[in-house]
Chain A
Amino acid sequence: EAQVTQNPRYLITVTGKKLTVTCSQNMNHEYMSWYRQDPGLGLRQIYYSMNVEVTDKGDVPEGYKVSRKEKRNFPLILESPSPNQTSLYFCASSSWENNEQFFGPGTRLTVL
């Protein structure tokens, strides 16, 4: 089944404790992206990757890191999480032929 998976789905952590949210897709998509969704602000792009070893900042990259060492994986790293990073995070992927994005189920992060 074609899908984007994210782990964990829910995470409660404390300020400053490094964390990684994993994202994996099985559709051989070149393009992958991370978004955060906050009430009243819609979806905002954090980082995106057009292919392996190619990443770039989106609209709200501060406080986040990403890497793209393999085509299927695109982890999101929060080196020192802060409460303002409490949000619902989505990973998405698409191919270049057809830029319809497939979304993961979301990761709900709470930073205390």
Chain B
Amino acid sequence: SQQGEEDPQALSIQEGENATMNCSYKTSINNLQWYRQNSGRGLVHLILIRSNEREKHSGRLRVTLDTSKKSSSLLITASRAADTASYFCATDAGTALIFGKGTTLSVSS
């Protein structure tokens, strides 16, 4: 049961530019989380935003949540080559996290 769907599927930018990824979901959630995955490796938790929050920051990351539109966005500011990875949103509606298919971000120097 795929819940979150990221957009775009792939994104290529230059170092220093901002990267924005979007996530849409279908049902009510307790929270929404973003994860990063470097090629073939385990996922790393980036940020969690609860359903009663609208915006959250962590370093160069900014996440917004619009529960009325059932959507979230992840903004990475001043991208670096090391940000090259796949990014997944995951929705928590109770007993399980449901992951989207991810956005592949490529940052070139």
Contacts and interface: CB of A to CB of B under 8 A. Distances in A.
Interface of A: 4, 33, 35, 40-45, 48, 50, 56, 58-59, 88, 90, 92, 98-106, 108
A88 B40 contact: yes
Contacts, number: 57
B101 A99 contact: no
A19 B61 CA distance: 41
6 contacts: A42-B99, A99-B33, A101-B35, A101-B90, A104-B42, A106-B40
Interface in B32-46: 33, 35, 40-45
The majority secondary structure among interface residues of chain A is: strand
A76 B1 CA distance: 21
Contact of B96 (A41, A42, A58, A108): A58
For chain B, the bracket of interface size reads 20 to 34
B97 interface: yes
B68 interface: no
Interface in B1-54: 1-2, 30-31, 33, 35, 40-45, 48
Nearest to A3: B42
Contacts of A56: 95
A102 B40 CA distance: 16
B94 to A, nearest CB: 10
